[in-house]
Structure 1
Amino acid sequence: MNHNQTHLLVVEDSPTQAEYIRRILQREGFIVSVASDGRAALETLDEEKIDLVISDIIMPGMGGYELCQQIKEKSHIPVVLVTQLFDPEDIIRGLASGADGFIIKPFDPVSLLDTILNMLESGEDGQIVLDGDLIITTPGEQTYTIRSDRKTILRILLSTYATAVNKNIELQETRDELYGMNEQLQEYVEELRQTNDELHQEMLERQRMEREVSDAHRKLQLMTNITRDDIRNQLTIIEGYLELAESREEEVSVEEAMERIRQASRRIGGIIEFTRDFQKIGMMDHEWLDLLSLVEGSRRMVDLMGIQVQSEIPDVEIYAEPLIERVFRVIIDNAILHGEGVSTLRITAEEENDKLIISIEDDGTGIPDTLKSRIFEQGFGKNTGLGLFLARDILAACDCAIHECGLPGRGACFQITVPKGRYRFV
């Protein structure tokens, strides 16, 4: 509907409430003026043509009843009073002051607009007509004639008002209960959220512990197999060659038997050293380690047997367990023992696609393609078969990976990939 010619006056001492009513009415196209009290409202009425007044009852200075009375003494402008609907005296005083309608607090935009439109339409098309003691009204399509006297109408009005008051009180109590229940629900939701967070943390902790237990079980099972089977095999070799040496048979010399015994002893030592290092994987704190120092430390721990080692490593640190030094020792030792004709070992480190690639290359015979996928398996190899297997697990605990990419006949090339965040240039 177009109400751009209808001028309404809102009388309200609360700026927030007045602005709320003004916005509702302006969205419907009404022209709206605002007064903060009764006296300001009378001044606006003297200066502007107002079609309807909406006034609060309780205001400082001149209240809504007195304002309504003074308006009715000098005009027929409809006045709608805003009431809390707490006491039947409200409606009596409102009627006595000449009010044309009431709006009940708290109200919603629909009820506010319905009341105002009813007031305006009843004044335009004569929905209520007085004919002596008769009241003729047309609230809809049907016309009704009311013959009740004023006393009866007032009694019915007060009865209806009392019922409305009781319903409003019940609604208020229900709303308060709903607010209370909502607060309890919010508390329950918060408790559930906290409980869920605690359960999530417990689940993560449980998963971590399960992984640790599973890893510990794997390590224990592996070390048990190694110490039981491999050491037993080496002891069998030692006992066999001791018997051969004591029998003084010409098939095996004492010197050859002693060399085989020493080799078996070294293998037992390597197995014991492996179990010591293997059980430490994942148990040590990570720290920033200088890559060149790790490589140089590994070189000093290995008998190079005349092999030249060339290091082309920039000033870079990697975030890993100190046990990672063993990885470089294993790869260097692997090249020396199994490279066949290795004369030079070259170690480099370069950044590629936000990753640090550490390459360890030799100029030996290389590794056949058919064996590349097996060299990191437990037990594969000419000695204990534990070196590269250990190196792979140490690197995995440091979020790193290793693979062999050399060309058969041109030498082996082991590449260690260090992800972003696990290395830094200094």
Structure 2
Amino acid sequence: MFAAGIWAFCTALELASADLPTQMLAITLEYPAMAVIPVAWLLFALEYIGRDDLLTPKNIGLLCIIPAVTTILVATNELHYLFYTTVTDMMFFGLSYHVVTYGPAFWIHAAYSYLLIGITLLLILQRFLFSSTVYRRQVTVILVATLIPLIMNLILVFRVGSVGLIDPTPVALLLSGALILIGMVRFQLLDITPIANEQILENMRDGVIVVDIQGRIISVNPPGARFLGIPGNKVIGLSVSENLQESALECIRVAGLAGDREERRETEQVINGLHRYFEMRCIPIRSRNTSNKGRMILVRDITEAKQTQNALSEARKKINLLSGFTRHDILNQITALLLHIDIAKESVPDPGVQEWLQKQEAAVLTIQHQIEFTRDYEELGINAPEWLSLHEIVSGIRPVLEARKISLDCTLEDIEVFSDPLMKRVFAILADNTIRHAETATLVRIRSEREGEHLNLVYEDNGKGIPAAEKTRIFDRGVGMHAGLGLFLAHEILGVTGITIHECGKPGEGACFSLQVPHGQFRIRE
């Protein structure tokens, strides 16, 4: 804007002057501003789109060479006439105006200036095409602010009509400045600016590898190049199948067959002689007509997390081993205690003693059941969650139900759920709950239904149902028969991966358990 102000001032001086020498002096003074404005527009565009890495003193100096030469040639034009070959004076509506004939140096300056403005327009237009709504409004302001002075200057240079006698470009630049100011107020221009995708990729800690449909690497950021073990400037065009391990290639192959679904794999790679663990996510890249354009591979170094996980797993194994020995010893003592209680019941016929022994036996059996429960509970969360087929899980409870003459009606789609491997125990617990508590039940239905972005898995029987007062308590530890640990365990297993369970049946019409699976933790196989 400072250069535009100088240009406007000198143009006003030129118009106010009555003699040709003063007019030419004004032109000489305004040309440094005229020559530097295209450079300034380009620098502004590069800064706005986030390519400030190109704004080095060396590059700025190179861009200013032609403007500097132009300024010198204009100031010394009378010595060589390379910029203006002739300068004549003419009268228009009683006012004196100069008319120049452009020389070769002028056209070099004009071509260079228009080239810089054209590059600026291309950069801004590219940002417009790949920007969100907020940035598009900003970019529109910049595009209009760039086009207005460009069009006015073209009218002057090619002398379209009478406008060719008076330079309208300074006024157009001031109008552009006003538009920029409006953009700053209305659309937060220069306050919120986009960052170039290249810079984002370069500064990511995760590796990004982009592969085309032929399996060739077409883009990679520095962490991705380190993962491949090849310098970034040499990896472009190489076949991905020759630079990845089999587990990673399987991830890519599956992603290509999985529609829009991403695939994840863990792989081990030797880098600089050290074993590193990586999580790979392979995402298909689709065009607007859904055709496959390639794949994007995201690589995350999980070595520290894996080492911590392995250390915790090893510690847990040792703890479980110790608790297993302890549990085995306690159960042996309980078995001996129950044996002595049976002997005492046979030896002492006294009713009072018999009642006392029965209470002791019930207490010991409760302890036994709780000790056995710890065996199931200690397995919770040991193994990482995985994709489990509901059809396979449900098929496991069918024989149990049919053995009690309870039919199973399963209308589930081919659904997989991302859950703790103990998920199969949940349906076994629900089936056991039906067998133990719904003595009149003859049918179990299992179905699925969508609720917004969630998936509800519904298990219901036609037994006597659960009283309303018990619905919120049945998942608490110690509530119900046999120490009340079954539904409590089911609730804990599901909670590992954020799946919730609640009872929604009507008393007298049967129990109904609804398992809500969050978005992203289920998928329907086609």
| TM-score tier (shorter) | 0.3 to 0.5
Normalised to the residue count of structure 1, the TM-score between the two structures is 0.47
Q: Which has the larger radius of gyration?
A: 1
Normalised to the residue count of structure 2, the TM-score between the two structures is 0.39
